[in-house]
């Protein structure tokens, strides 16, 4: 299977999914009107990845903004990762937020509470 | 035809209310992107804090995308013309900003919307946060993708009560207006 490498735009995030390394990164802005269109290929990739995942998958979430339309899709991404974890593989999610961005920190805490993966909250300077 | 005096009155009224941006018409994805960009640039020029810039941007995205997704054309109109256009106004106040939107909704949808807004306004900030989490977690997805999170998110991020109104238009539709205040800390 191919890796995913997508450049970010004003409304959609940059995405880098590397199967060999087990490194998944989503960054930037995720505010498309129709987020399902954008996330569907990512979720399909994760379904294939789940068949032969790396022993350790490291997920870096470096979002600047995301809309509520994306929030459900992001939850779906985490649900796929949660089932990979249940199959016995290790998953680390690093949730990055800018210093003082309480809203982004809280958003990460929301997912952390819903999903059975321990999130690492990473504060970065503005 | 619009008289020059009317143009001036409109301008003058907007000027006195510190309207930074005003738009009436169809909401498209391109326009949505342009409004976001324009307001982001203005907030930069005003030297606003990262916090208020983020809040404004987040709330504005939800407000504009609500207009984009949930616009209902009234089934009948007075003059047979389409009245599906929306209004957006962004104003600067002494202690922050106001994002004002207006659009038609079908009466049935207006009832559901009213109930949801009353429910949200009756909650504490902590309860709004919990509601967001439970709606997000229940996994249901509307065909628009949001699953009813938009209004909850707007309330959560603005941190205040939502100011709104409904004006009956005809048998089938209602004009809905929302005024979200984004306060400086």
pLDDT in tens, A24-75: 999 999 999 999 999 999 999 999 999 999 999 999 999 999 999 999 999 9
Alpha-carbon torsion, ordered B73, B77, B79, B81, to 10 deg: 10
In the three-class reduction of DSSP (H, G, I as helix; E, B as strand; rest coil), residue B87 is classed as strand
Q: Does A48 touch chain B (CB under 8 A)?
A: no
Please report the ipTM that was assigned to this predicted complex.
0.92
In the block, tokens 């984009």 appear at B68
Listed in sequence order, the residues at least 6 apart from A125 whose beta carbon sits closer than 8 Å to its beta carbon are A98, A99
Mutate to test the interface with A, among B145, B148, B152, B185 (most CBs of A within 10 A): B145
Q: Are A105 and A90 in contact (CB under 8 A)?
A: no
| Beta strands A56-66 and A23-30, pairing class | parallel
- B128: nearest Cα among B101, B84, B162: B162
Adjacency order of strands within the sheet including B19-25: B19-25, B86-93, B96-106, B173-183, B163-168
Supply the CATH classification number for the domain B4-183: 3.30.565.10
Question: Tell me, what's the pLDDT at A13?
Answer: 98
Check B58 against A65: CB less than 8 A apart. yes
**How many CB atoms within 10 Å of residue A75?**
19
Mutate to test the interface with B, among A39, A68, A113 (most CBs of B within 10 A): A68
Domains and CATH numbers, chain A: 8-124 (3.30.750.24)
Minimum CA–CA partner of B60 in chain A: A67
Name the B residues in 143-162 with CB < 8 Å from any A CB.
144-147, 149-150, 152-153, 157
- Phi first, then psi, for residue B84 (nearest 5°) are -85, 0
In the three-class reduction of DSSP (H, G, I as helix; E, B as strand; rest coil), residue B145 is classed as coil
Domain-wise residue ranges, chain B: 4-183
Question: Tell me, what's the pLDDT at B138?
Answer: 83
Q: Are B88 and B165 in contact (CB under 8 A)?
A: no
What is the CA angle A32-A36-A37, rounded to 5?
A: 80
Q: What is the per-residue burial (b if ≥16 Cβ within 10 Å, else e) of B38-76? A: ebeebbeeeebeeebbbbbbbbbbbbbbbbbbbebebee
What pLDDT digit, counting tens, does each position of A61-109 carry? 999 999 999 999 999 999 999 999 999 999 999 999 999 899 999 999 9
Question: Tell me, what's the pLDDT at B136?
Answer: 92
Alpha helices by DSSP H, listed for B71-179, are 107-121, 125-137, 150-158
Q: Does A10 touch chain B (CB under 8 A)?
A: yes
**How many CB atoms within 10 Å of residue A35?**
25
CA distance B68 to chain A (A): 8
A75 neighbourhood in chain B, CB within 8 Å: 136-137, 139
- Identity of the residue in A67, A104, A126 whose CB atom sits nearest the CB atom of B65: A67
Q: Does B166 touch chain A (CB under 8 A)?
A: no
Q: Are B103 and B73 in contact (CB under 8 A)?
A: no
Residues in chain B, pLDDT under 70: 1-2, 72-83, 139-147
- Identity of the residue in B29, B55, B147 whose CB atom sits nearest the CB atom of A33: B29
Strand partners, B167: B175
Name the A residues in 85-114 with CB < 8 Å from any B CB.
98, 100-101, 103-104, 106, 110, 113-114
CA distance A110 to chain B (A): 6
Question: Tell me, what's the pLDDT at B56?
Answer: 96
Question: Tell me, what's the pLDDT at A76?
Answer: 96
């Amino acid at each position: 299977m191919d890796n995913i490498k997508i450049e970010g735009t004003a409304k959609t995030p940059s995405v880098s999914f590397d199967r060999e390394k087990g490194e998944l990164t989503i960054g930037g802005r995720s505010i498309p009107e129709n987020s399902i269109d954008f996330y569907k290929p990512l979720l399909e990739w994760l379904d294939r990845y789940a068949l032969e995942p790396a022993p350790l998958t490291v997920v870096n979430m470096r979002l600047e903004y995301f809309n509520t339309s994306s929030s459900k899709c992001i939850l779906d991404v985490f649900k796929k990762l949660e089932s990979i974890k249940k199959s016995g593989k290790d998953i680390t999610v690093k949730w990055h937020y800018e210093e003082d961005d309480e809203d982004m920190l809280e958003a990460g805490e929301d997912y952390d509470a819903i999903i059975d993966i321990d999130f690492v909250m990473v504060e970065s300077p503005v | 035809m619009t008289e020059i005096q009317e143009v001036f009155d409109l301008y003058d009224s907007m000027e006195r209310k510190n309207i930074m941006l005003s738009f009436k018409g169809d909401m498209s994805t391109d326009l949505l992107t342009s409004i976001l960009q324009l307001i982001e640039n203005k907030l930069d020029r005003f030297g606003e804090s990262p916090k208020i810039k983020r809040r404004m941007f987040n709330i504005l995205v939800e407000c504009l995308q609500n207009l984009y997704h949930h616009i209902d054309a009234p089934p009948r109109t007075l003059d047979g013309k389409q009245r599906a256009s929306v209004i957006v106004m962004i104003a600067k106040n002494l202690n922050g900003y106001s994002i004002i939107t207006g659009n038609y909704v079908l009466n049935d949808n207006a009832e559901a919307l009213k109930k949801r807004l009353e429910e949200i306004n009756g909650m504490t900030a902590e309860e709004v946060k919990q509601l967001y989490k439970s709606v997000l977690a229940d996994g249901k997805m509307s065909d628009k993708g949001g699953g009813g999170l938009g209004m909850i998110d707007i309330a959560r991020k603005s941190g205040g009560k939502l100011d709104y109104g409904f004006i009956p238009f005809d048998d089938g539709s209602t004009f809905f207006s929302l005024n979200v205040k984004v306060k400086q800390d």
